[in-house]
Amino acid sequence: MKIEMHFHTSETSPCGSVPAAIAVREYAKAGYTGMVVTDHFNRYVLESFPGSPHEKVDRYLRGYDIAREEGEKSGITVLMGAESCIAGGPEDFLLYGIERDFLYEYPRLYAMTQEEVYKACRDYGALLYQAHPFRSGCRPRDPAFLDGVEIYNGNRRHENHNADAAAFARRHGLLVSSGSDFHEYEDLAQGGLCLPYSVSSGAELPAALQSGGFTLIQEGESVSGTL
């Protein structure tokens, strides 16, 4: 299974420029069979939506819902994830293995500390990764409250210092991942994972990531998934 792990839609992420359905079709053409929608679950996004916390979450998931519907037509399994800044700094964190009920329970995820988010993920069975920890303006956060690190970020408009992220993960014995950080067409199919088997639900994703039995996609090419 070739799966994109870091993907934004224009319907939800203000910085995204490609509609979800179009992007899913393009990923299908690129040979991907899975993707995780990780739209920005941040204060400035959620607080711009009207309604109750429950309604804000539903509006946040519009991009994911559209992507999932198109995935069913295009033969791509679309899973729910999130990318959120949390209390203590501007750094971004990727959540894998979550579903709607998790976000309904934590509609102000962005106001929680890293330790609180990590515990919430652990209780739910999800995983918490730090995205691009060495990107300019970011710093690696406490590895004691991380499951993994995005050691390859394919967004070409930032200095991501991916080698430093890989060294950090290796030093602290953390899980690893790769993602295109898709916002624009030029980001298409730059990152992701090649899994030896298919994942059909968000609940199955954490075990696949913990297995380590995959290869990373970097600059559109598959490389060893080991450190």
Contacts of 56 (CB under 8 A, 6+ apart): 46, 47, 49, 50, 107
Using the predicted structure, report yes or no on whether residue 207 has a pLDDT greater than 70. Answer: yes
Using the predicted structure, report yes or no on whether residue 12 has a pLDDT greater than 70. Answer: yes
Cα dihedral value 140, 177, 46, 59, nearest 10: 180
Contacts of 31 (CB under 8 A, 6+ apart): 2, 189
CATH class of 2-224: alpha beta
| Amino acid 101: pLDDT | 97
pLDDT in tens, 35-85: 999 999 999 999 999 999 999 999 999 999 999 999 999 999 999 999 999
Residue ranges per structural domain of the chain: 2-224
Give the mean model confidence (pLDDT) for residues 208-212: 91
**How wide is the angle at C-alpha 188 spanned by C-alphas 156 and 5, nearest 5°?**
90
Distance CA 161, CA 178 (A): 13
pLDDT in tens, 131-147: 999 998 899 999 999 99
